[in-house]
Amino acid sequence: MPIASRTWQCLTRQALPPHVRQLQWHRPKPRHNFGSYQLRFQSTTSTSTIPSTASRDVRSLFTRLKNLFLGTTIGFSLILGYYYVTDTRASIHEWLVIPCLRHFYPDAEDAHDFGNRALKALYSFGFHPRERGYNDAKGDLAVEVFGHTLQNPIGTSGGIDKHCDIPDALLAAGAAIVEIGGVTAEPQHGNEKPRVWRIPSQNALVNRYGLNSEGADHVAMRLRQRVREFAYHMGFGINEEAEQRVLDGEAGVPPGSLQEGKLVAVQVAKNKWTSESDIEATKRDYVYCVDSLAKYADIVVVNVSSPNTPGLRGLQKTEPLTDILTAVVGAARKVKRKTPPAVMVKISPDEDGEDDVRGICDAVWDSGVDGLIVGNTTKRRPDPVPSGYILSQQEQRLLLEQGGYSGPQTFGRTVALVKRYRKILDDRSYSVPRDMESSPSSAPSVKEAETPTFSTIGTAVQAPEVTQPPTTDKEIEETVKRDAQHLKPDTPEADAESKNQSLFRIPE
């Protein structure tokens, strides 16, 4: 047989170990004009292609350690990122979230709506911003309001959560008082859009929402559902009886906020089409809101000062305001609950004449309202800050829009107005005859708070209770003991700590 047409083995298959290659000759397919031969190695195992057992173990161990390191790093990064992003003090909210909202939502109302929807969704999954830790362990920020000791004197104003979408999310963010609303008796759309504008250089807003509301019944349904879910988690059940147990205080928390050391206020207002000259119809709007919402609130806020509802501020005159507040107080006292909610009235900062202020104080005193909120947004346009700052043409144009202005520039005037109301109410409390002390319609029934509570756009002032100074030795001793509990020890350490604290000066 010709050599070119045969394949021969150098050694027999039986003579070779399994791991030794077999050498064969073969003739490949010709690629040139002449024949050529090449060697082909054929084997089922190879020491050059299969790593040794030790090498394979080392590589496997290295891969496992690498995966463990990467997995641990990713896990810790996610945990730390979660704690950072969900902390209200994280700078990412100010320097990333807010600029992104302003970029993607040039209209302020669209940004507001998206922010509320996002916060509601995040809260449902537990990813909402919250105040972590307890930075006021010594209780320096604690303040007593309507018999409740609040964690701090900070509150959110009405308008942030108009329809009771995110009360718990706002409470979790750290505010001690959250105001829902304004809520009208029947649903109304408010004014035409656009109706909210930003003044970025002043950290201010101009709005003319016009009390857009889903109506008292709709908001009451959400508040009722919130209370019943809380009752279910407390083990009371989810029916009407369980709801009533929570409202009567059996859960040990305020029936509005459902959290210790915090309160929820519900702001009520009349509908736009209800004429302010028809006092009886106006009273019916307010009373209907109170009947529907008051039992789910710790505080009922009567709004008679919105600058965006025609004729509403006319209700701040003494006679109509007294009639309205008296009707609201009477309805609140009839709420089916062991402890009725407090009643406050939100007034305008623009009615600051002496006669206006005294007339409002007379209405507050005669109706038995528990306190004032000073004040709502203003129709005035304060000078820009810092002094001499020139606004851009766009911001100057936005300032001409009709609506209420809110921003830090109003703080000084608001505090000054609060002092005036505080002084008049205090003077009135000490001038009331002794035989009128027991009359519930002659004096508010809440304790005096020496420190007013500040909200985002104003200040809440509690009307003082008519009391007489202690006369007996026992009363004096009890008063001294009570005051001593609130005093810090006079030690060098306490004095040094006090000097190191930052100061916040309230304008004179």
Q: Tell me how far apart the alpha carbons of residues 55 and 283 are, in angstroms, rounded to a whole number.
A: 88
Rounded average pLDDT over 387-393: 89
Q: Tell me how far apart the alpha carbons of residues 371 and 144 are, in angstroms, rounded to a whole number.
A: 13
Strands 263-269 and 299-303: parallel
Whole-number pLDDT of residue 502: 44
For residue 10, pLDDT over 50 is answered with no
More confident: 478 or 52: 52
For residue 203, pLDDT over 60 is answered with yes
In which band, very low, low, confident or very high, does the pLDDT at 37 lie, cut at 50, 70 and 90?
very low
Q: Catalytic site residue 306?
A: yes
Give me the chain's average pLDDT, please: 81
CA distance to 4, 21, 29, 33, 314, per residue, from 37 (Å): 9, 19, 10, 13, 112
Residues 405/381, Cβ–Cβ less than 8 Å: yes
- The tens digit of pLDDT for each residue in 99-119 reads 999 999 999 999 999 999 999
Whole-number pLDDT of residue 1: 46
Tokens 């190879």 appear where?
Answer: 46
- Point out the catalytic residue in the list 306, 348, 367, 406: 306
Residues 370/462, Cβ–Cβ less than 8 Å: yes
- The tens digit of pLDDT for each residue in 132-169 reads 877 677 788 899 999 999 989 999 999 999 999 999 99
Residue 443 DSSP label: S
Q: Tell me how far apart the alpha carbons of residues 91 and 84 are, in angstroms, rounded to a whole number.
A: 9
Rounded average pLDDT over 250-277: 94
Residues 267/286, Cβ–Cβ less than 8 Å: no
Whole-number pLDDT of residue 310: 79
CA dihedral 149, 154, 158, 161 (to 10 degrees): -90
| pTM, two decimal places | 0.75
What sections of 334-408 are H helices per DSSP? 354-367, 393-399
**Phi and psi torsions of 291, nearest 5°:** -60, -35
Q: How many CA atoms lie within 13 A of 105 on its CB side?
A: 18
Whole-number pLDDT of residue 508: 41
Residues 138/489, Cβ–Cβ less than 8 Å: no
Of the given ranges (291-295, 399-403, 453-457), which has the lowest mean pLDDT? 453-457
Residues 387/413, Cβ–Cβ less than 8 Å: no
